[in-house]
Amino acid sequence: MTLALKTETPPPAPAKPRQVTQSHRFDAELVAVTKRYGPGAPAVDNISLRIPRGSYCCLLGPSGCGKSTTLRMLAGHEEVSDGAILIHDQEITHAPPVARGTSMMFQDYALFPHLSALDNVAFSLKVQGVARGERRARAKEYLELVQMDHLAERLPSQMSGGQQQRVALARSLITRPKVLLLDEPLSALDPFLRIRMRAELKRIQKELGISFIHVTHSQDEALALADLVVVMNNAVIMQAGAAREVYETPSNAFVARFLGGHNVVQRAGGGEASVRADQCVIGARPGLRSLPGTVSMIEYQGTAVRVSVTGTDGEELTALMPTGAFFNDALELGQSVRLSWDPADEHPLG
Amino acid sequence: MLSSQTSPSRATIPPKLASVLQVTPMALVFLALVIVPLGLIFVVSFLDYNFAQVFPELYLETWVDVLTSDLTLALYLKTFKFLVIVWAITAPLGFAIAYFLAFHLRSNWLRTLLVTAIAIPFWTSGPIRMVSWVPLLGREGVVNQTLMGAGLIDEPLGWLMYSEFAVLVAYVQMLTMPMIATALNSMAKIPPSVIQAARDAGASEWQIVRDIIFPLVRPGLAIGTIIVTTAIMGDVVMVKFMGGSQVNTVGMSIITDLNAFMYPPAAAKSILLLIVVLSIVVSLLRFADIRKELRS
């Protein structure tokens, strides 16, 4: 599904000057950053992360894992308790938001309700004292980049959620950020628009060549978008790496479970391993490891069928079966079955 | 209104009838307590009168008098003067205090405490509030004592109490609160992310106030202005007590006529006042969508 979307040709965009940058190794760098709100467990606990140049980075995790706090510290909306933050190799840990070279796109868009789309985008130029004609011309360029130039005179209340988001994106980009910060940018959109908008975000990121740091709790979104997926839980980073690396070789049980599509099983020689659900089958076969259980859920998903099997110990395992294979020998809820997999597909967890 | 008992579901009333039934109680109250008395006042303003009596005869001189006399003009000018001065003080003051409460107080607890402190004088009864000015502004009051004690004046200032100044002080004290309330209501609706976005864009605190907060609070200020306008234009109690008998306004002149049993002139002046106030309110409403503002 994701692949099909990526091949979809995006609408042609106007030529944009690339962000001119001096040589630096990383667009953003967190060095042992901690955020404490009071006594007790910190909201972000001693995390370090390097985001290479021109990356699409997704901070992924359940709510309360510290991903939004991390983003807010990058934006300068939250004081850093300990550690340092660098943007383009420059330390900006305590710099005000405007001096960091970051720009935040807010979850609720935070458009100025009394200003037109064009004036919203032009606002940062206005406060810098850029003359009216010039700032409107430049704002228009950025509205073209997000394909909103035809609604330049509309007020936010006269635009749909997706349109407001595009305007918010243009308003962030006009500040020429070195790093764009996006706080759950797609969560307020309907599923169809969400998929279109994420393709758009990726296109714009590639076009501008700057880094995007995108907070999300959606695994699909992170895998579809990110060059660098950072999975967080309980205030720490559980794993950071390329989307495929994190998905295929999760380094611990949390990442395997959270990304979905994985079963966590005990290895024959002790310790835990993950097995991808699409590599599991129902029924015992020679040469395969298997576990007994009862079918607890059957979910038809179009291209595949998801069968959940609850084992004797109460642990739930999932097999993702091709539709054809499933309907050749349809299962019933409550049926006793064995869920099997090839030991060679086991990926040991640390 | 119920249909026969045999009907399986509840009887439904046609939507049109339902709407009529819903507005009827309020319409009756409004008719009996507003429209009918206003109609009577309107009729009385055209009747002939002498001492303590009104004759059912058409007499237009009352209106000619009211509309052409210099006194009417002078009274309106005086009342408008109060209105303009009070507005010019309460609007910026209300905006500033609301701005402080909304954007510069981190503690919700302290904000509640301060809002309550602002509201308490509003809840005390009018006469008590006005009597309380005497120990402060009277000849022997705290202000005069302090100024004399500091050697700044030799004898008590007489114009502090029972004067236009006193009326203005009392108006400002009473009417700053609704300005704060309406401005605060508008400010509370501005999402913090909007302010943060402006700050991120590099706006200074002053630019945020001027370009973001003020335009968004304008409807609230318009409603505050309506409250101030109607309070001052219709006031007699405050002028009477704080001004002694020294200050005359539109409202006071109506009371004077009523006390002299001159009902037709009082009625004509009331109608004129109503028209003036309503015109001001209607023009102010262009700045505010009241329904939108009152929605929480």
What SS3 state is found at A311?
Answer: strand
Across the interface, which of B193, B194, B203 has its CB nearest the CB of A127?
Answer: B203
Beta strands A262-266 and A272-276, pairing class:
antiparallel
A with B: how many residue pairs have Cβ under 8 Å apart? 54
**A59 touches A227 (CB < 8 A):** no
Say whether both A244 and A281 belong to one domain. no
CB contact under 8 A, B197 and A112: yes
What's the gap in Å between the CA of A76 and the closest CA on chain B? 9
Do A11 and A82 lie in one domain? The reply is: yes
Q: Quick one: pLDDT band at residue A16, thresholds 50, 70, 90? A: very low
**Between A13 and A53, the higher pLDDT residue:** A53
In a domain? residue A133: no
Determine the residue of chain A that is closest to B207 in CA distance. A127
In a domain, A298, yes or no: yes
**pLDDT confidence bin for A285, thresholds 50/70/90:** confident
Question: What pLDDT, on the 0 to 100 scale, is given for residue B54?
Answer: 84
CATH number for the region B69-294 comes to 1.10.3720.10
Closest-CA distance, B186 to chain A, in angstroms, reads 13
pLDDT in tens, A196-206: 999 999 999 99
pLDDT at A17: 46
Instruction: State which residue of chain B sits closest to A107, comparing Cα positions.
Output: B193
The pair of structure tokens assigned to B39 is 């109609």
Same domain, A306 and A338: yes
A242 compared with A302, residue with greater pLDDT: A242
Is residue A311 domain-shared with residue A182, that is, in the same domain?
A: no
Mutate to test the interface with B, among A100, A108, A123, A173 (most CBs of B within 10 A): A123
**Residues A148 and A119 sit within 8 Å (Cβ to Cβ):** no
User: pLDDT for A17-48, tens place per residue?
Assistant: 444 445 888 999 999 999 999 898 999 999 99
**Rounded CA gap, A68 and A64, in Å?**
8
Q: Which run of H or E residues covers position B49?
A: strand B47-50
* Most A CBs within 10 Å, among B200, B210, B217, to test the A interface: B200
In a domain, A284, yes or no: yes
Chain A touched by B209 (CB under 8 Å): no
Which residues on chain B are in Cβ contact (under 8 Å) with A107?
Answer: 193
The DSSP line for B239-282 is HHHHTTTS---HHHHHHHHHHTT-HHHHHHHHHHHHHHHHHHHH
Report the pLDDT value the prediction gives residue B9, as an integer from 0 to 100: 58
Q: Of B194, B196, B207, which is closest to A127 when you measure between CB atoms? A: B207
> Judged by CB atoms within 8 Å, which residues 213-252 of B form the interface with A?
215-216
Which chain A residues are closer than 8 Å to B193 by Cβ?
Answer: 106-108, 110
Q: Which residue of B has its CA nearest to A172?
A: B201
Q: Where are the alpha helices (DSSP H) in chain A?
A: 2-7, 67-75, 117-127, 132-145, 161-173, 191-208, 219-225, 243-248, 253-259, 323-328
The contacts of residue A284 (CB under 8 Å, 6+ apart) are A290, A338, A340
Is B50 an interface residue toward A (CB < 8 Å)?
Answer: no
Tell me the sheet residues that pair with A337: A293
Place of tokens 């909103």: A148
Closest CA–CA distance from residue A59 to any residue of chain B (Å): 21
- Smallest Cα distance from A81 to chain B, Å: 19
Residue-wise pLDDT tens for chain B (296 aa)? 444 455 555 678 888 999 999 999 999 999 999 999 999 999 999 998 887 788 888 888 999 999 999 999 999 999 999 999 999 999 999 999 999 999 998 888 999 999 999 888 778 887 888 888 989 998 888 999 999 999 888 888 888 888 999 999 999 999 999 999 999 999 999 999 999 999 999 999 999 999 999 999 999 999 999 999 999 999 998 898 898 887 889 999 999 999 988 999 999 999 999 999 999 999 988 877 666 666 54
Which residue in chain A has the smallest CA separation from B216?
A114
CA–CA min distance A350, chain B (Å): 41
- Chain B residues with CB-CB distance to A175 below 8 A: 200-202
* pLDDT value for A258: 92
Separation in Å, CA of B92 to nearest CA in chain A? 21
Nearest CA in chain B to A121: B201
- Classify residue B7 by burial, with Cβ atoms within 10 Å: 0-12, 13-18, 19+: exposed
Q: Which residues of A touch B (CB under 8 A)?
A: 75, 77, 97-98, 103-104, 106-108, 110-114, 123-124, 126-128, 171, 175
Q: What is the CATH number of the domain that holds A238?
A: 3.40.50.300
Interval A86-110: pLDDT, tens: 999 999 999 999 999 999 999 999 9
In a shared domain, residues A243 and A285: no
Positive/negative CA dihedral, B288, A113, B176, B148: negative
Residue ranges of E strands in chain A: 26-35, 44-52, 56-60, 82-87, 90-91, 102-105, 179-183, 211-216, 228-233, 236-241, 262-266, 272-276, 280-282, 289-300, 304-311, 316-322, 336-341, 347-348
CB contact (8 A) between residue A114 and residue B216? yes
Do B200 and A97 count as a contact with CB atoms less than 8 A apart?
A: yes
Question: Residue B290's pLDDT is what?
Answer: 66
CB B65 within 8 A of CB B211: no
Within a domain: residue A127? no
- Chain A, nearest residue to B193 by Cα: A110
Distance in angstroms (rounded) separating the CA atoms of residues B294 and B185: 9
Task: Taking residues A239-244, report their average pLDDT.
Answer: 95
What residues are paired with A30 via a beta bridge?
Answer: A49, A85
Cα dihedral A202→A206→A212→A217 (10° resolution): 20
For A317-350, b where at least 16 C-beta lie within 10 A, e where not — what string?
A: bbbbbeeeebeeeebeeeeebbbbbeeeebeebe
CATH number at residue A331: 2.40.50.140
Asked if B216 and A113 come within 8 Å (Cβ–Cβ), the reply is yes
pTM: 0.81
Chain B: residue whose CA lies nearest to A78: B196
Residue A73 scores a pLDDT above 80: yes
Alpha carbon distance A17, A24 (integer Å): 19
Q: How far is A219 from chain B (nearest CA, A)?
A: 26
**A-chain residue closest to B202, CA distance:** A98
Question: Looking at beta carbons, which residues of chain A come within 8 Å of B199?
Answer: 97-98
pLDDT of residue A76: 95
Distance (Å) from the C-alpha of residue B290 to the closest C-alpha of chain A? Answer: 17
Please give, rounded to a whole number of angstroms, the shortest distance from the CA of A214 to a CA of chain B.
17
The residue among B119 and A235 whose pLDDT is bigger is A235
The answer to whether residue B212 neighbours chain A at the CB level (below 8 Å) is: yes
Q: What tens digit of pLDDT does each residue of A128-156 get?
A: 999 999 999 999 999 999 999 999 999 99
- The number of folded domains in chain A is 2
Tell me, what's the pLDDT at B43?
94
Q: What pLDDT score does B1 carry?
A: 44
Residue A236's nearest CA partner among A259, A216, A255 is A255
> In whole angstroms, what is the distance from residue A332 CA to residue B276 CA?
80
Band (A3; pLDDT cuts 50, 70, 90): very low
Last residue of a domain, one of A248, A274, A305: A248
Q: How far is A32 from chain B (nearest CA, A)?
A: 25
Contacts 24+ apart (CB under 8 A), B58-67: B59/B264, B62/B264, B62/B265, B62/B268, B63/B268, B65/B265, B66/B265, B66/B268, B66/B269, B66/B272, B67/B272
Tell whether B204 lies on the interface with A, counting CB pairs under 8 A. Answer: yes
Identify the closest residue of chain B to A119 by CA–CA distance: B211
Q: Of the candidates A177, A167, A178, A103, which has an alpha carbon nearest to the alpha carbon of residue A140? A: A167
Whether residue A74 sits in one domain with residue A39? yes
* Host domain of residue A315: 265-348
Point out the residue among A97, A106, A112 whose CB comes nearest to the CB of B199.
Answer: A97
In a domain, A164, yes or no: no
- Judging contacts by C-beta atoms under 8 Å, the chain A residues touching residue B216 are 113-114
Percent of chain A with pLDDT over 70: 94
Of A103, A108, A111, the CB nearest to B200: A103
Statement: residue A266 has pLDDT above 70: yes
Chain A residue numbers touching B197 (CB-CB < 8 A): 104, 106, 110-112, 171
